[in-house]
Structure 1
Amino acid sequence: MLSLIAKALLSGALIVAIAEIGKRQPALAALVASLPLVSVLGMMLLWYSRPDAENMARHAEATFWYVLPSLPMFLLIPALLRQGVNFWVALLAGCALTVALYLAMTAIGPRFGLRL
């Protein structure tokens, strides 16, 4: 239980740090947010709990393929905001696009040999 609390606190601290940096330097906060810190931390914790090279390799590879469908969201949201769309609507549209692309990836990926 203590391990779970520590993981949650670390994750929360990372999110708060990005939000606080973003108040003063949006580009730096974006850089920090774009770093695969969560993925690296997740892999470290996964390795600690299950040190299996094949499992880790599958996890890292699937992470790569799942990052791709999330990227268009980061182009759609600023485009909508610049057109005057409300932030919450733009965010919802970006999230909806990402979900649709995730579903497409999981449906189409295996046809190309991706193990997701």
Structure 2
Amino acid sequence: MVYYITKVAVTAVLVVLISEIAKRSSVIGAILASVPLTSVLAMIWLYVDTGDIQKISDLASSIFWLVLPSLALFIALPLLLGKGMNFYLSLIISIGITAVCYLVMVLVLKHFGISH
């Protein structure tokens, strides 16, 4: 139980730290947020939990392919906000667009025989 609490605490502290840094400098916050901390932490936790290198490799490959559709959020959100749309509505629409892009990417990958 202590291990799970540690995992959650480390992950949460990093997210809060990045958001606090972004208040002071959007560039430094963006650099830290763009580093795949969540992915790296997930791979570390998976390795510690299983020691299975193949699972780490599969996770890294899957992350690679699914980073592409995640970029839709970072394109749609500033465009919608730039049009004067409410932040929460822009965020919801951007998340919806991203979800559709994920679905399309999964279907495309499946079509080409890439199944992670």
For Structure 1 versus Structure 2, the TM-score category normalised by the shorter chain is over 0.9
Show the counterpart of 1:55: 55
User: Does the Cα contact within 8 Å between 2:69 and 2:105 map onto a contact in 1?
Assistant: yes
1:29 shift after superposition? 0.5
2:84 is paired with a residue whose SS is coil
16-25 or 50-59: which moved more?
Answer: 50-59
Q: How does 1:1-116 map to 2 (within 5 A)?
A: 1-116=1-116
Question: What TM-score, normalized to structure 2?
Answer: 0.94
User: Does the Cα contact within 8 Å between 2:11 and 2:41 map onto a contact in 1?
Assistant: no
Q: How many residue pairs were aligned?
A: 116
1:37 shift after superposition? 1.1
User: Does the Cα contact within 8 Å between 2:70 and 2:101 map onto a contact in 1?
Assistant: yes
2:51 is paired with a residue whose SS is coil
Unaligned runs of 5+ in 2: none
CA RMSD, 1 decimal? 1.0
Moved >2 Å (runs of 4+): none
Question: What TM-score, normalized to structure 1?
Answer: 0.94
Counterpart of 2:65 in structure 1: which amino acid? W
Unaligned runs of 5+ in 1: none
